[in-house]
Amino acid sequence: MVGPCVICCFWEITQLHLLPLSMASHCVWLALIIGNSRLHWAGFREAFFCGAWHTPHLSAADVKQLVSQNFNPSAWAALTPSNVPQLGLPDDQPIELWLASVVPQQVQLWRTYPKLQQVKPDRIPIQGIYSTLGIDRILALWGAGESQGWPVLVIDAGSALTFTAGAAGHLIGGAILPGLRLQFQALSQETATLPEVDYCSLETLPIRWAKDTSTAIQSGIFYTLLAGIQDYIIDWRRQYPNSQVILTGGDSTVLYTSLKIQAPEIAVQLKQDPHLMFWGMQAYHRQVSKGC
């Protein structure tokens, strides 16, 4: 098993492609998905995915700096050690920012940005969406359906672990429970004597029948979480045998790797895609934008 310390690295950039300045175009745009614990960014040129990276939640000063430098790579130096793609826009041409958020306070920081496009759930062509369904879950489901086909079950391992299922462009339903990190934090913060346990130190699954408190916490959280994931997948596949099951989110790799050890017959049925929400954002941009 790959060590979760690498998996859980707070800063990550994937599928990076650098674009020369000569490709400057109004078709270049940024996607920003504001999650509960961090911001998820991606750069696009038309339908071309240039790369993804993450930052913590920003202050007003951080936002002012990014905007004043038109999101050029140098503007990110204090926010992430990763290389952010050069999207090829001149400094005097503001870039379009397409935003979806589950944290209202962070949205307020962007209200005055002139090129802001906020994602509206009622413009997403998935039937059966209820009013309190998170935009992150909607985008991930749409992205999964667009990229992998329907029916599809999305398991998003973020601050919350969510199950979101759809078929033929309709929401089937889902479930929400505390995510991996949140479960560990809850035991240490809401009890008098239980310690804070860092699951990133694990190199493999913990001993199930533990003889010390820290390992007992690891065992209880990991094995019950994995059992719950398996149960939902089995039930979903019973109803939709010819369907996709896709893992996404910050802890998806550690859970996927753990499932390959604990339940290889289940893991072989899964796909992992860290960018499902961005495929949903890409589909939204394509539908709402008037084109380049």
**Catalytically annotated residues:** 136
CA atoms within 13 A on the CB side of 248: 26
| Tokens, residue 255 | 């859970």
Backbone angles phi, psi at 93, to 5 degrees: -120, 100
For residue 284, count other CB atoms closer than 10 A to its CB: 25
One-letter amino acid at 58 equals L
Backbone angles phi, psi at 291, to 5 degrees: 95, 165
Reference 30, options 62, 59, 73, 64; nearest CA is 73
For residue 224, count other CB atoms closer than 10 A to its CB: 11
Q: Which residue has the tokens 């009013």?
A: 131
For residue 17, count other CB atoms closer than 10 A to its CB: 12
- Cα→Cα distances 5→8, 11, 200, 203, 264, Å: 5, 12, 4, 9, 22
In 3-state terms, what secondary structure has residue 177?
strand
